[in-house]
Amino acid sequence: MASNANARTLDDFLDYLQVERGSAKLTIAAYASDLVQFAKFLETRHIVLSKVRREDVREYIQELFSNSLDGRSVGRKLSAIRQLYRHLLLDGKIDKDPTLNIDLPKQWKVLPKSLTRDEVKTMLAERPPHNESKRSRALALRDRAMIELLYAGGVRVSEVADARLADLKLEMGYILVRGKGDKERMVPLGAPAQQALQHYLKDGRDVIVNKKISPLLFVGTGGRRLTRQRVWQLVGKASIASGRHASPHMLRHSCATHMVENGADLRTVQTILGHSDISTTQIYTHVALDRLKSVFAKHHPRAKAKGNL
């Protein structure tokens, strides 16, 4: 069992710290805490400490960052792991240090969180409004059209809040978006997003503005501009059905991730998302690769098979 083997490895290392190096109890306790956490991560993957690869260490660090741990704390945990593997290497327990050439925490980019396609599908499913009032139906049409746009075009929350009615070119299948630095870009819209927007414009928007005049595409009561916080609330509310709390950023990241998974080239994704630098877009190749490896390990009949080489 991985857990038993890992426990023995950690006990030996902590004894070494206490006896050979005379480390203080506080230091030993800190190492123990960090290394036990690392061991638990490995056990969920049925990996023994002595068989860890560099990729395993990188995945662990990435998970720490994904859980919003700061760089200083991640650096401390990485230092404990380095010390463990230096000890194992010197002791002849391993022949290769998996922590070699691991980037410093400040050099890491946090991989964005994204939703699965099923989760997005559940979010975008049509639901009846809370009541049958005209206003309630209109708000439901607005919210669905807004979420469709967030996912279809990978637009930022501020770009949705600032979108103008004149920017939408439904007959041509795109919307003109003003991004960072007031740069404009054309974002194509798929059929579901076009239909949702069409229904909102036909049966929802006029009811919400209530005879007021507003240049904005998505409006609050009386034609007021929706705040970024309000858009976040509406997306979070819609995500309840998927069983996972989502944000506008997650829909943007999901759009990019799913496009890359389906074979979209990075330049196209860069243009749609409005990234000024292709290096920002390249992070989605890592997201797609991680998911590809996960799906392979879970579903391929020989992914875990141990054959004779």
The single residue of 93, 249, 286, 291 carrying the catalytic annotation is 249
The single residue of 87, 142, 253, 275 carrying the catalytic annotation is 275
Per-residue exposure over 278-304, b if at least 16 CB sit within 10 Å of its own CB, e if not: eeebebbebbbeebeeeeeeeeeeeee
Q: Can you list the residues of the chain whose pLDDT is less than 50?
A: 1, 307-309
Whether 211 is covered by a domain: the verdict is yes
252 included as an active-site residue: yes
Q: CB–CB of 208/138 below 8 Å?
A: yes
Domain termination site, one of 87, 107, 127: 107
Q: CB–CB of 146/162 below 8 Å?
A: no
Asked if 130 and 93 sit in the same domain, the reply is no
Asked if 167 and 189 sit in the same domain, the reply is yes
180 included as an active-site residue: yes
249 included as an active-site residue: yes
Q: What is the pLDDT of residue 309?
A: 42
The single residue of 156, 205, 253, 258 carrying the catalytic annotation is 156
CATH code for the domain in which residue 13 is found: 1.10.150.130
Q: How many domains does the chain have?
A: 2
Alpha-carbon gap, residue 184 to 100, rounded angstroms: 44
Q: What is the pLDDT of residue 90?
A: 83
Domain termination site, one of 80, 107, 134: 107
The single residue of 144, 252, 253, 258 carrying the catalytic annotation is 252
Q: What domain range is 91 assigned to?
A: 2-107
275 included as an active-site residue: yes
Whether 166 is covered by a domain: the verdict is yes
Average pLDDT along the chain: 85
Q: What is the pLDDT of residue 1?
A: 45
Asked if 9 and 124 sit in the same domain, the reply is no
Cα distances from 18 to residues 11, 94, 171, 176, 195, in angstroms, run 11, 21, 73, 64, 68
pTM, rounded to two decimals: 0.62
299 included as an active-site residue: no
Domain termination site, one of 77, 107, 137: 107
174 included as an active-site residue: no
Asked if 141 and 245 sit in the same domain, the reply is yes
Cβ neighbour number for residue 247 with a 10 Å cutoff: 17
The single residue of 180, 212, 237, 267 carrying the catalytic annotation is 180
Residue (of 55, 39, 280, 262) closest to 156 by Cα position: 280
Whether 243 is covered by a domain: the verdict is yes
